[in-house]
Amino acid sequence: MPHDYIPRPDGDFSAWANHYYIAVKEWWAAHGLDLGELGPLEAALDLWNKGYAAHIAAQAKAEGAAAAKRQARFGPPTSGTGVPPVIPALEAEARRIAAFIQTYPKTTDADRATIGITVRDTSKTPAPTPTSAPVVQVESGQRLTHRLRFTDAAAPTRRGKPPGTIGAEVWLALTPTGQPAPPPGDSYKFLSVSSRGNLQTDFPSAEAGKTAYYALRWVSTRGEKGPWSEVCAATVAA
């Protein structure tokens, strides 16, 4: 197959296209042809140059933002090596505070699980990782309020958390009405760890009419997480 005269990489293509237009315009004029016939070519080149410049600027901005994000989390690269410190910046501060909380005499395992730090195992027989998921019901009849009630899928008729757990993590995602339920993950925000089998959620007036999606999972006394519950949905009553 003959080699295509138009380069494929955008940078090469941009340089070629601008040179091509100038050379064609000179050739057109030298032969006494109507330069107006090159109007569509000129307009297309102008559109490309604007779009390509915007793309380069956005790419540079994104790379700068990514570098700022890395530095905020890991700190500046080690001088001369380009390798980030092992525990710098935000991670270093988070670990320093966590170390204090761990040794504070009034800290409980429930506190540790809620905060998201290591729950120390002080028992001879470690608690197993939860294998069942919560079963969730939402009462949504009251204005701007949801009341969650949940039991264990392994014992749905009995209230209470499974043995070896401190309670259930409760996560919430709010979406406009009609949007599908997002899967548990980054779309959800953490609300609480509840050990009582119920939880009340209150919403501001601006959230009225939206759909609230709840996803729960059990947390063991060692901080290990069980499987997610089925996502449960309810409208925020106005």
pLDDT at 40 over 60: yes
User: What are 19's two structure tokens?
Assistant: 């040179």
Query: At 56, phi and psi to the nearest 5?
Result: -60, -40
Mean pLDDT of the chain: 87
Q: Which amino acid is at 186?
A: D
Which of 120, 122, 134, 131 shows the shortest CA–CA distance to 167? Answer: 134
Q: What is the dihedral of CA 234, 158, 133, 202, to 10 degrees?
A: 30
pLDDT at 195 over 90: no
Query: At 123, phi and psi to the nearest 5?
Result: -95, 155
Position 131 scores a pLDDT of 93
Position 79 scores a pLDDT of 46
Domain boundaries in the chain? 10-74, 134-235
CATH code assigned to 134-235 = 2.60.40.10
The pLDDT of 10-21, averaged and rounded, is 92
Residue carrying structure tokens 């409980």:
108
Return the bridge partners of 199, or none.
Answer: 148
Query: At 223, phi and psi to the nearest 5?
Result: 85, 5
The band of 66, judged by pLDDT with boundaries at 50, 70 and 90, is confident
The pLDDT of 216-224, averaged and rounded, is 92
